[in-house]
Structure 1
Amino acid sequence: MKNLSLVIMAALVFTLSSCSAIAGIFKAGAAVGIIAVLVVIFIIIWIISMFRGRS
């Protein structure tokens, strides 16, 4: 009976830690995605301002 509870406890620990790791990856992915979108918008604005400055 001790071995069964130890196995269940170990399974819970591994399951909970992997969920938090996946949540951290998704949070980092969202932050990187937002930064990438902002960089693309700034590049587009910069290119448009270059063309407006020439004419």
Structure 2
Amino acid sequence: MKRLPVLLFALAMMLFNSCAVVGGIFKAGAAVGIIAVIVVILIIVWLLSFFRGKN
């Protein structure tokens, strides 16, 4: 029974570290997603202006 708090503490420390790692991945993913959306919008605007310019 004395080992139970130590095991719970070790488990909690592992879970908190993994949450921080996952949080960092999601933050990086959000930044990359925002950049990707901006690039796609710029490509669409460029294509629209390219095809309108030919008429």
Do Structure 1 and Structure 2 share a fold, with TM-score over 0.5? Answer: yes
Deviation, 1:31, is: 0.9
What's 1:8 paired with?
A: 8
TM-score by length of 2: 0.82
The Cα RMSD (Å) is 1.2
TM-score by length of 1: 0.82
Unpaired runs of 5+ in structure 2? none
Counterpart amino acid of residue 26 in structure 1? F
What's 2:37 paired with?
A: 37
> Structure 1 stretches (4+) deviating beyond 6 angstroms?
none
Counterpart amino acid of residue 4 in structure 2? L
Q: Percent identity, please.
A: 52
What's 1:50 paired with?
A: 50
